[in-house]
Amino acid sequence: MKAALKSVPIFALLLLAMHGPTALAWTTQINCDNGAPGTRVPQGGPDEFTQAFTNTVYSKSVVTTGPVSCKMGIDAGTDGWGSWGGTYTFPTQLTPGSQLWIRVSLYVPVGFDYAATPWLKFIRVHTRSASTTDNGFLDLYINPPTGTVWDDATKTSVTDPFTFYYEGKPIPHALGTRGLNSIVPGEWETYEVYYKFDTVSKANGGTGEVRIWKNNQLLADLPDQVTLKDPATYADAFYLFTYWNGMAPATQSLYVDGITITDDTPANRDAKGNPCICTQTMQAQPTPPGTVAVQ
């Protein structure tokens, strides 16, 4: 089955029969390890993307712990919709009080141009309601490698390498330090985002909060972040890339692997005691002889 559900003890089953359905914790892992190089990554099956867009294929050019990874391509002059990235629909609706962790291993080749206007969409969570199909995305953006972006917290333009932004309640949070936390081309790196869903932020008496890690190090904790637009809103899906703001500047590809999506509180903790998936940072394996150079 697509999402691994935790076993339920007998007393919980009795409560379920007495009081109606209860959401069970789930975990999905998309490991990009089981396909022939050059073939399109499958979709809709166990531990797969719900939608794998057309330029998402298996590749052995750059790998981590398995024989292949997922190569995601974009065509110059396009926004990439339908071709760039993939989506995963959650098995349950994530309503106020729910939590979510998403972790992705990413390899950006040397020379990859991620310039976008104003940001490049990266790790995204879609929100909606029963009556409204789109209440905005909770977006972790990759900022352009040069120039500045707006940070609402400081009310200034900054050079930070990432931005977090909820389209349902727009507050641009610039984060990280350019150089120190920027994407390192030619290396596997891990990115993880935690969401506590609420219409009121933790800083304002609710529970809404977002945390972001890079390579298992806490990059940002945003207790002032509202994560649901209103009480009827819920999170329903994860989008990886999928849309290039301002059109792609070049025809190019990058690589992902080790994708974990879960609403089940992880056992691991970061240095501050926060629950996180926080597994070992993936390392690139030698490129097999005779394979095509990274593109």
Give the pLDDT confidence of 46-64 residue by residue, as tens digits: 899 999 999 999 999 999 8
The residue to which tokens 């974990």 are assigned? 260
Instruction: Give domain status of residue 224, yes or no.
Output: yes
CATH number, domain at 29? Answer: 2.60.120.200
Pick out the chain residues at pLDDT < 70.
1-23, 280-295
The domain total for the chain is 1
- Domain with 67, as residue range(s), is 25-262
Q: Is 221 helix (H, G, I), strand (E, B) or coil?
A: strand
Instruction: Give domain status of residue 13, yes or no.
Output: no
List the Cα angle 194/173/210 in 5-degree steps: 15
Instruction: Give domain status of residue 178, yes or no.
Output: yes
pTM for the full predicted model: 0.89
The residue to which tokens 């301002």 are assigned? 246
- Compute CA distances 293 → 43, 143, 169, whole Å: 27, 27, 42
Instruction: Give domain status of residue 43, yes or no.
Output: yes
Instruction: Give domain status of residue 282, yes or no.
Output: no
Q: For the CA atoms of the chain, what is the radius of gyration?
A: 19
Instruction: Give domain status of residue 228, yes or no.
Output: yes
pLDDT, tens only, 246-292: 999 999 999 999 999 999 999 999 999 999 999 866 555 544 433 33
List the Cα angle 146/282/75 in 5-degree steps: 45
The pLDDT of residue 3 is: 52
Instruction: Give domain status of residue 283, yes or no.
Output: no
Instruction: Give domain status of residue 274, yes or no.
Output: no
> What distance in Å separates the CA atoms of residue 225 and residue 222, rounded to the nearest whole number?
6
